[in-house]
Structure 1
């Protein structure tokens, strides 16, 4: 049976996000063996992943802007090649500088080309208005399925082959991102034509961002997304080491990360559906507040495999549920013309938070021998993000130059 172009688009977009996001969610498993192999502190490994997140965020607006104007094909191909190269070069990164170049710089650039902003720039053009929120939720949920699928695979590869062969296998898998670019490029061409910019890409970015920055709601979205990055990347990278420090077996951590991915499939899809019916800012505020409550309860309860599983399921439901809602607010405010770039700009704030979450986790652990202070920061920042999203508006008039 012949597949419709829309179905093919959503399947390819979901596969790209699933693979790209799935591989990166298992990086925390490489922390113990690589630090032991090379005699690094946790800060060394954490700094490399912090640079990855920072570079991902810094390059995202540019990757999104090129996808907005010229289509996602070349952007995705470049991202797939960088992804494979970065993973392969991690195997020969024997010091912190080399690790920051491979796991940090190259993988950060790769992720900027193969994740939400680039993929969403096609979906919002090709999918009817009434299905946009659901389509973005479905695609974001695919990233969660990738985590659910890839986390146990990565753990199994490390246990069965060792960390170095595991990275080479992942490099080969990431090369599949290259052929998956074709359906998205075709969908972009079929979608309503986007007028070619008369300004350069750089001038177009600064102009559109300057117009958006004048809106208070845009700035508040950036503040909330900063907290999102801090929380999820700290937990995603340091939770395996945290559980190991407290005497829990390695399979508890792999199960926890897989549960986060599994429950995030439902959470992200449901948030996308709810975003089409209810206030997205209020939903975002609720997500951030409940995250803080879940973290606080997790820390107060005795640490057991059961409490870890419940925590992972609850956090998983909230994990990427901010993605379709945040992008939905951006579309409501500014239209689809510059979604890739504006989504990337907001995402840069997310990645600054990610950098601080993963890096401070390593620094504070090396200084104090525990993660208590970082857990406390995650709780306090979650409450602050909830308060920041409450005044965000969805119907605020924006300058004509920014809207589609």
Structure 2
């Protein structure tokens, strides 16, 4: 179990740590290339959508052949995408590399794949905790990698910084060797109680699955809007780039504690209440941030508060899915719920750039984020967490 947690956590640290810093490239790339903020925002929005769409099929593949081969492929795609991002001459090429290619890489190197391994290898009594530990590793990646990325941009320029990150992405392939699963080693078909079609039919006809998807949509909208547009929002008010780097690092730092605590509490309390509380607190924190006078300290306090709530939804949502449906198709079902998250991410990133270009500010997106947080708090309350009873029918 220790090896699984260490290697899985290190992979998520790298994969999530790299992608959480993409907002730092918005101004350097758009100013250097003469592109609009919407052009950059659209590419990152497509990245999230690509991640979500392909995550479903990558999840199916990981459930069938194991995480090891999927992680190797994802690592290579990540490196190629970062190199392509650095060399893109037009917004269309940038969309293809930073958007589609890196999105595909993230589908194969992040939570859905890693949580599938945890679900299959970690006892149920420790599953929510283990997922919290892995989510905390992703938070540490943000805390560690965002300042590193900011320093790289400042010291070697934005394109060379992306080349260096491509080397970091290849380390994921080495770490994947620690997640080889005995059940997939022989290549023999894995016996299952349900086919893929049966699992999908069951999930899509179960209201709680749809409610979890709705809540996760909001999570994606909120975190990606803040993660990508916060540096530009602060720059518009005359704040130094270091404030943005520090604020995003604080999100990662406090998220370590938030996700670990959420995973622990998920073993002891109804997860639906925890999820509802998290979304409610996000809206309250945003309201307080907008009402308070803007200063570096108000930014740091807000980002620390949001960091505590940032990825704490991840272990709770995935543990709830495992609790309801079991673990045999966990990567696939987690991929579907995460697809909803990524639709929200797409809208949060793209609308941030689009409405900024129209209005000259981010006010409308902030208000929408608050309203969606209240909505997510309400839809998580009726979720039923008990396992679905089913007749055992062994199928290949």
Question: Is TM > 0.5 for Structure 1 vs Structure 2?
Answer: yes
**From 163, 170, 193, the counterpart of 1:168:** 163
Give the superposition deviation at 1:78. 0.5
1:79 paired with 2:70, answer: no
- The whole-number CA distance in structure 1 between the counterparts of 2:265 and 2:165 is 35
- The whole-number CA distance in structure 2 between the counterparts of 1:395 and 1:146 is 33
Number of the residue aligned with 1:104: 99
- The whole-number CA distance in structure 1 between the counterparts of 2:193 and 2:72 is 25
What are the superposed Cα offsets for residues 213-233 of structure 1, whole Å, 9 maximum, x if unpaired? Answer: 111100000000000000000
Give the superposition deviation at 1:195. 2.9
Change (3 A) 1:95 1:346: same
What are the superposed Cα offsets for residues 29-70 of structure 1, whole Å, 9 maximum, x if unpaired? Answer: 100011011111100000000000000000111111111121
Give the superposition deviation at 1:186. 3.9
- The whole-number CA distance in structure 2 between the counterparts of 1:308 and 1:401 is 53
What aligned pairs does 1:102-251 form with structure 2 within 5 A after superposition? Answer: 102-186=97-181, 189=184, 195-196=190-191, 204-251=195-242
What are the superposed Cα offsets for residues 237-288 of structure 1, whole Å, 9 maximum, x if unpaired? Answer: 0000000001111100000000000000000000000000000001000000
Q: Which runs of 5+ in 1 are unaligned?
A: 1-5
Q: Do the aligned partners of 2:129 and 2:260 also contact (CA within 8 Å) in 1?
A: yes
Q: Do the aligned partners of 1:142 and 1:265 also contact (CA within 8 Å) in 2?
A: yes
Secondary structure at the counterpart of residue 94 of structure 1: coil
Secondary structure at the counterpart of residue 87 of structure 2: coil
Secondary structure at the counterpart of residue 391 of structure 1: coil
1:51 paired with 2:42, answer: no
Q: Do the aligned partners of 1:211 and 1:402 also contact (CA within 8 Å) in 2?
A: no
Give the superposition deviation at 1:197. 6.1
Secondary structure at the counterpart of residue 394 of structure 1: coil
Larger mean CA deviation between 320-329 and 125-134 belongs to 125-134
Number of the residue aligned with 2:339: 348
Give the superposition deviation at 1:290. 0.5
Give the superposition deviation at 1:128. 1.4
Number of the residue aligned with 1:294: 285
1:360 paired with 2:351, answer: yes
Change (3 A) 1:375 1:194: farther
**From 53, 61, 72, the counterpart of 1:66:** 61
- The whole-number CA distance in structure 2 between the counterparts of 1:313 and 1:387 is 24
Secondary structure at the counterpart of residue 180 of structure 1: helix
What is the RMSD of the two structures over their aligned residues, measured on CA atoms?
1.9
Q: Post-superposition, which runs of at least 4 consecutive aligned residues in structure 1 deviate over 2 A?
A: 186-190, 193-199, 204-207, 396-404
Change (3 A) 1:314 1:188: farther
Give the superposition deviation at 1:189. 4.7
- The whole-number CA distance in structure 2 between the counterparts of 1:205 and 1:96 is 38
Give the superposition deviation at 1:396. 5.4
What are the superposed Cα offsets for residues 57-109 of structure 1, whole Å, 9 maximum, x if unpaired? Answer: 00111111111121111100000000000000111112111011100010000
- The whole-number CA distance in structure 1 between the counterparts of 2:8 and 2:266 is 20
- The whole-number CA distance in structure 2 between the counterparts of 1:105 and 1:128 is 35
Q: Do the aligned partners of 2:192 and 2:394 also contact (CA within 8 Å) in 1?
A: no
Number of the residue aligned with 1:269: 260
Secondary structure at the counterpart of residue 303 of structure 1: coil
Change (3 A) 1:211 1:163: same
Give the superposition deviation at 1:196. 4.0
Q: Which runs of 5+ in 2 are unaligned?
A: none
What are the superposed Cα offsets for residues 323-371 of structure 1, whole Å, 9 maximum, x if unpaired? Answer: 0100111011101111000001000000000000000000000111000
Q: Do the aligned partners of 1:16 and 1:115 also contact (CA within 8 Å) in 2?
A: yes
* TM-score normalised according to structure 1 size: 0.94
Change (3 A) 1:136 1:400: farther
Q: Do the aligned partners of 1:69 and 1:197 also contact (CA within 8 Å) in 2?
A: no
Number of the residue aligned with 2:369: 378
* TM-score normalised according to structure 2 size: 0.96
What aligned pairs does 1:310-321 form with structure 2 within 5 A after superposition? Answer: 310-321=301-312
Change (3 A) 1:402 1:149: farther
**From 7, 17, 34, the counterpart of 2:2:** 7
